Amino acid sequence: MAADPFQLFDEWFAEAQASEPNEPEAMAVATTGKDAQPSVRMVLLKGHGPEGFTFYTHEQSAKGEDLAENPRAALLFHWKSLGRQVRIEGPIESVPDAEADAYFASRGRDSQIGAWASDQSRPLDRRATFERRFEDMQRRFDGEDVPRPHGWRGYRVVPQRMEFWTAREHRLHERRQFTRAGDDWTEGLLYP
């Protein structure tokens, strides 16, 4: 048994990056708002370490609004090629503005412009409207750096519980659970 779930995640993530055919950083993020209705969607992991697991979105997106109402989330990585899953649960904290600015600046220009053109999660009358807005933003920022839009931010899940699941024959799977106790972690096994 390992005492450090972050080290184990790093090992598994490196193996997924080497073997998973499509976006090993893809993870499901589950949130609930004040109505307690669960909502889940796929996002991309943009940073991880002992401080937590980071993704980016607009604070007025459905997930951003959920997180404002209930600042907790659950994450799920599923690496089918390895027969592994990692579940992570915990409270959310906002990424500092300087970190969000640096990540936004590292994105491709079209992705940056797309963040300005999109009213994320809001109703859209037709695809042509979004495409026109994208073209408008291309003209607006022609020849200029594209700044991070107001409200576009990073969120970090600070893990309180991490589960590492390994597929085994006959559905006799292995489940290792780490639970935070202050600054330390306790580890145990769960029945499959």
Q: Which residues are catalytic?
A: 171
| Cβ(163)–Cβ(86) below 8 Å | yes
Structure-block tokens of residue 140: 């607006």
Q: How far apart are CA 33 and CA 63, in angstroms?
A: 8
| Cβ(53)–Cβ(95) below 8 Å | no
Phi/psi of residue 139, each to 5°?
-65, -40
Three-class secondary structure of residue 169 per DSSP: helix
DSSP secondary structure letter of residue 97? H
